[in-house]
Structure 1
Amino acid sequence: MPNPTMLAGPRVRLRPPVVSDAEVLFSRIASDREVTRHLSWRPHAGVTETRRVITALFNVGDEETWLVELDGEVIGLCGRRRPQPHAVELGYCLARQWWGQGLMSEAVSLVLEDVRPDPTVYRVSAYCHVDNAGSAGVLRRCGLSLEGRLARYGLFPNISDEPQDVLLFGTAVR
């Protein structure tokens, strides 16, 4: 099981989530239909589901997840996984109150800085729904380039039961 280290930037701090974070994660992120609109999972029905996700899914296997904190307050999630031994894929979400302030760009940059020294990683990528301009902006600001549009690639159950088009961003790290 991965044990992500704490990462700190000028404004945000990333740390592994613990079960006691479930209530704030549920209220600010996991239950918010706007926050989860462009994610691959539906809003949680209750805090019990958020607790289960923290214990059963976060930091299990090849997946690493951090809470994003601002001044000690939980404001988002940021994670990475290795779909292939040489590649890292990023994902993230931010509570609405903090949208548009550059905080997720800072958090994603911290995860990228943490990946760069790993000699086994050659590529970092992320994708977002074609209508998620905020997420596309985060990826561009973090140095990932738009590599293309993948037709009917991503499942976004809060939009449709059918696969949706996504924008693929990526960069080589060595």
Structure 2
Amino acid sequence: MANHPVRPPTLTGERTRLRVPHVDDAEAMFDGMAADPEVSRYMSWTPHEGVDETRRVITRLFNVDADPTWLIETRDTGEFIGTCGWRRSAPHTVELGYGIGRRWWRQGIMSEVAQLLIDEARRDRTVYRISAYCHVDNPGSAGVLRRCGLTLEGRLARYAIFPNLGPEPQDCLMFGKAVR
């Protein structure tokens, strides 16, 4: 499978819209999520130092290969909420990832977004499995994955580095679902 840049489709839910992120979204992304140490606590990245770093992430990391990234916004006003996407961890598997601004936590928004991602991944006939992992101390993310029908498959010892928690790999919970 060739790694070609993707332009993911716009996906619309009851309260949210997922669309391609643009460099002019950098300020809203920086203010709403990327600079917040609480948002990045269980992420693979550290808080952004300034909006220029957010611009670099948008232009150099988002949608530059075959793994799609979406910006999450409110459906009615277009206000920035967060980002989401997936990567192909194997030719037949997509691994979900997402982040949401603290203002939007505990409102069921990420469950709606994750379900939109799952539904989109299922449209691809080459996808047989959807998976995601989260830090063992992140019950919010674990709840999102359960609500979207992913099953807890186990605890992965020393699986991923979360730079905001330290330099050593941390334990994660792995969730998955066969879709074919």
TM range, normalised to the smaller chain? over 0.9
Q: How does 1:30-49 map to 2 (within 5 A)?
A: 30-49=34-53
Q: What amino acid is aligned across from residue 137 of structure 1 in structure 2? A: G
Q: TM-score, normalised by structure 1?
A: 0.98
In the alignment, structure 1 residue 15 sits paired with structure 2 residue 19: yes
Give unmatched runs, 5+ long, in structure 1. Answer: none
- Quick one: which of 76, 92, 98 aligns to 2:98? 92
Q: 2:162 is aligned with what amino acid?
A: F
TM-score, reference length from structure 2: 0.95
SS in 2 for 1:62: coil
Supply the distance in 2 between the matched residues of 1:143 and 1:16 (Cα, whole angstroms).
26
Residue of structure 1 in register with 2:142 after alignment = 136
- Percent identical across equivalent pairs? 63
3-state SS of 1:116 partner: helix
DSSP 3-state at the match of 1:100: coil
Gaps of 5+ in 2: none
Instruction: Show the 5 A alignment for 1:12-161.
Output: 12-70=16-74, 71-161=77-167
For residue 54 of structure 2, give the secondary structure of its aligned residue in structure 1. helix
- RMSD over equivalenced CA pairs, Å: 0.6
Corresponding residue for residue 6 of structure 2: 2
Deviation at 1:62, TM superposition (A): 2.6
Provide the aligned length of Structure 1 versus Structure 2. Answer: 174
Instruction: List structure 1 runs of 4+ shifted beyond 4 angstroms.
Output: none
Partner of 1:154: helix, strand, or coil?
A: strand
Give the residue type in structure 1 aligned to 2:104. Answer: W
Aligned partners of 1:164, 1:55: CA distance in 2, in Å? 29
In 1: Cα distance, 2:20 partner to 2:173 partner = 28
Give the secondary structure class of the aligned counterpart of 1:83: strand
